[in-house]
A = this chain, B = another copy of it.
Amino acid sequence: MKTIKDSVHDHIEVDGVGRALLDTPEVQRLRHIRQLGTVSFVYPSANHTRFEHSLGVYHLASRALDQLGIEGKNARRIEAAAILHDVGHGPFSHNVEDVIERYTGRRHDEVDDLLAEGEIAAILEEHDLDPERVAGVVAGEGEFAGLVSGELDVDRMDYLVRDAHHTGVPYGTIDHGRLVRELRISEGRVVLDEGNVQTAESLLIARALMNPTVYSHHVARISKAMLRRGAERLIAVGEVTPEELRRMDDHDLLCTLRECDRTERLADRFFRRDLLKRAVWAELPDVPDAVLDLSFDLLRRHEREIAEEAGVDPEGVILDVPGRPRIRESTSRVIVNGEVRQLEEQSPLVRTLQQAQINEWRLGVYTEGEQLDAVGRAAERVLALETDGALVSDVAPGLRTTLDRFGP
């Protein structure tokens, strides 16, 4: 057994299949991928990596398995999935995930190919585990998969408290000890025991508060958009293949951006933290449906049109349209009066948090400071935004925005 000191969980004990997997190149690679990508431009202390997060998820998974009395192969499978759940991440975590998915068809939790070969496959086999089923758990499928990948999963418990520790923003400071202790299995599903409606709510609230404050802070979104633009260029000019991009770490991506003629300027801005600014920041109801559903190619075309209409270099305009907010049915389940209930039945708060997600949705158009106004006006016309041409100069000079409905 190996004991590792962690800034969040103090001592983490790694054993068996978890310990063996720890030394594989795929897991060690996570030491070089920042957990929060470009969020460190907003919160400079947020330099933690997917590696310590994976250790933390393994740690909480082990405690949850103990708590639930799950043993043997079922437990080993969950432990393996816990330590491996993030090996599919590309450089800067979620920052270039969309680019990778567009070209390879894979998101970060689709790791069956990575687990099917090499050292990982060998280790799983030694421990009598089927790589495909472990990959299934990472993707949220199979028995007890909800522990690692679900609404009450230990992944979220670890990242909320870890991100709070490293950013200094306290909203993520959940009571993970209680959450793990109160887990139960009911008909194959992970649920929280009697008396834990607030416990379940607190997890959703923590995420709801961390989201706009940390994960979707506009500075993080702008720098992410710049990085994504750079990654697209690298693929477009043949400097890297999509599959190579997927397996890069942060160092590779940054060095390659610096070395490639077509991305050198962007890299330079990135390293100087000389970021683009918002020309538009529009709320969901003010964005025509058609814009929400634009294909990747059409988005690029719109960017060029906006640049053309504004009379600026198309390289200097980025259109950033997040996906439609998904109003998923919350799958958290809590026992109330001896009966398993969905949290949303029980908690009006959950429904409100789903609404808050819609309110916080923003379409962004980013460009350089001196051309904010021109690009803002052009974007309004090209995208047919209902921004009324209002400039919100108190928030940021020259920013065309529709902030006035719900607040930032």
Interface, chain A (partner B; CB < 8 A): 3-8, 10-11, 23, 25, 28-29, 31-32, 34, 40, 42-49, 51-52, 55, 165-171, 173-175, 177-178, 181, 194-195, 197-198, 201-202, 205, 209, 212-213, 250-252, 254-255, 271-274, 334, 336-338, 341, 346-349, 351-353, 355-356, 359, 392, 394-395, 403-404, 406-408
A407: B residues at CB distance < 8 A: 197, 334, 336, 341, 346-347
B198 near A209 (CB under 8 angstroms)? yes
Q: Are A7 and B52 in touch, CB under 8 angstroms?
A: no
Q: Is the beta-carbon distance between A7 and B167 smaller than 8 angstroms?
A: yes
Q: Are A168 and B5 in contact (CB under 8 A)?
A: yes
Closest Cβ–Cβ distance, residue A190 to chain B (whole Å): 18
- Report the minimum CB–CB distance from A152 to chain B (whole Å): 16
How many copies of this chain does the complex contain? Answer: 4
- Residues of B within 8 Å of A3, CB to CB, are 181
B40 touches A44 (CB 8 A): no
A194 to B47, CA, bound (A): 28
Determine the distance from Cα of A352 to Cα of B212 in the docked complex, in whole angstroms.
Answer: 19
Contacts of A408 in B (CB 8 A): 194-195, 197-198, 336
Contact of B7 with A168 in the complex, beta carbons under 8 Å: yes
Whether A209 pairs with B202 at a CB distance below 8 angstroms is yes
Task: Point out the residues of chain B lying under 8 angstroms from A212, CB to CB.
Answer: 198
Beta-carbon contact of A175 and B169 below 8 Å: yes
Task: Determine if B169 and A11 form an interchain contact, defined as CB atoms under 8 angstroms apart.
Answer: no
Q: Is the CB of B48 within 8 A of A52?
A: no
Instruction: With A23-B272, A337-B403, A338-B392 as known contacts, state yes or no: A205 contacts B198, CB within 8 Å.
Output: no
Q: Report how far A271 CA is from B24 CA in the complex, Å.
A: 10
Q: Which residues of B contact A7 (CB under 8 A)?
A: 43, 45-46, 165-168
CB-defined contacts of A10 to chain B, threshold 8 Å: 168, 177
Instruction: Report whether A44 and B6 are in contact in the complex, using a CB–CB cutoff of 8 Å.
Output: yes
> Smallest distance from the beta carbon of A75 to chain B beta carbons, Å?
19
Q: Pick the contact of A177: B11, B31, B167, B198 (CB < 8 A).
A: B11
Q: Which residues of B contact A213 (CB under 8 A)?
A: 198
If A171-B202, A271-B28 touch, whether A394 touches B194 (CB-CB below 8 Å) is: yes
How near does chain B come to A226, taking the closest CB pair, in angstroms? 15
| Chain B residues with CB below 8 A from A8, complex form | 45, 168
Return A138 CB to nearest CB of chain B, in Å.
Answer: 21
